[in-house]
Structure 1
Amino acid sequence: MAKPDKAAAIAELTDRFRSSNAAVLTEYRGLSVAQLKTLRRSLSGDATYAVVKNTLTAIAAKDAGLDGLDDAALAGPSAIAFVTGDPVSVAKGLRDFARANPALVIKGGVLDGRALTAADVTKLADLESREVLLAKAAGAMKGALSQAVYLFAAPASSAARVVEALRAQQAEGTAEAA
């Protein structure tokens, strides 16, 4: 690669690192072109998957302010999934593809500027989707609110029962007097 081409590639990778909220580094050795195409298609909604040169990626990561990609992660043939959508769904997609195609190896990544190991990416993949977590949080808040409504309504309903009992007792007393 000529120097201007390398500079352009570094600038493009730097922009991708800055514009994405996560990046997952993989090794694709042993995968066919058709398998890579299938992987790209499965990630297309939330990420772009690109084969990268390790030295240019290391330079671009430093330029983007990411210290999480070390030399060990950038060894061998590398490809990066630049995540622009939900990182959990991308991690799940990569994990599921790696289960079906053992040649794909997840090496690590970066999430919001923090370095991730391969185990961290697996833990991220084991999380439930954002929508499910939001639904659970909303359900928990609804439960807490209904408990609060019950607690606030309890003294009023208790007072109403006491007043009704006193009224019934008084009506009973006047009926006996007559």
Structure 2
Amino acid sequence: MALNLTSKKAVVSEVADIASQAHAVVAVEYHGLTVEQMTNLHARARQTGVYFRVVKNSLAKRALVGTEFENVQNHLTGPLVLAFSMEDPGSAARLWRDFFEENSKLDKKAMVKFLGFSGQVMPGSELDRLAKMPTKDEAIALLMACMRAPLDKFARTLNEVPGKLVRTIEAIRQSKEAA
């Protein structure tokens, strides 16, 4: 379906707004995917905080100007679906990784074209690495565990002093009873 100028401007504006807020982008060639698979991907994307959009490359290039993903413009070739991670950097990569695990007949290496993250363009082979990035809650939990570890060790060390005293007294008591 051809878009008129007003519709094109609306698409560019929408994608530009999303790209300015997104943490990462994953571009996948959708050629070979069924309508059912695309529908399932859209539904999962909404649940996981991923903006999922098939957009013409010429419009995507215009939309990405002035965003952190401006450097991916040269890689926008072929029929692509763009998945923008809105909540955490790895959410779009996890969406696609899980999809390819469920549909093992699809060639992940050929379909994932590139990733955009932190102002860098990465090849599609880095999908798993980006997908393994922790979510915000996981990162906070890891940070708290690291901050708490020295305190836990200090508490165990302090607790060991009276414990050792009790064991020593018990050993002396047993040796006197045995004598």
TM range (shorter): 0.7 to 0.9
Structure 2: give runs of 5+ residues left out of the alignment.
166-179
Equivalents in 1 of 2:67, 2:91: separation in Å? Answer: 24
> 1:108 maps to what in 2?
114
Alpha-carbon spacing, 1:121–1:68, altered in 2? closer, same or farther (3 Å): farther
Superposed, 1:1-178 pairs within 5 Å as: 1-45=3-47, 46-64=49-67, 66-71=69-74, 73-101=75-103, 102=106, 105-149=111-155, 153=158
**Aligned-partner Cα distance in 1 for 2:68–2:88:** 22
Number of aligned residues: 156
Moved over 4 A (4+): none
Give CA-to-partner distance per residue, 1:102-126, whole Å, 9 cap, x none: 1662222322433332133321113
Q: 1:78-120: CA deviations, max 9, x gaps? A: 1111221123233112112123331662222322433332133
* CA deviation after TM superposition for structure 1 residue 34, in Å: 0.9
Counterpart residue identity of residue 150, structure 2: A
Instruction: Tell me how large the CA RMSD over aligned residues is.
Output: 2.7
| Contact persistence 2:24–2:90 (CA under 8 A) | no
- Equivalent residue of 1:87, what SS? coil
1:136, 1:8 → 2: CA distance?
Answer: 41
TM-score, normalization by structure 1: 0.72
- Could you tell me how far apart the structure 2 residues matched to 1:10 and 1:47 are? 18
Distance in 1 (CA, whole Å) between partners of 2:114 and 2:18 is: 17
Unaligned runs of 5+ in 1: 162-178
Structure 1 residues 57 and 86 mapped into 2: Cα distance closer, same or farther (>3 Å)?
same
Higher alpha-carbon Rg? 1
**What amino acid maps onto 2:91 in structure 1?**
S
Deviation (angstroms), 1:149: 4.1
% of aligned pairs identical?
25
Q: TM-score, normalised by structure 2?
A: 0.72
Question: 2:176 maps to which residue?
Answer: none
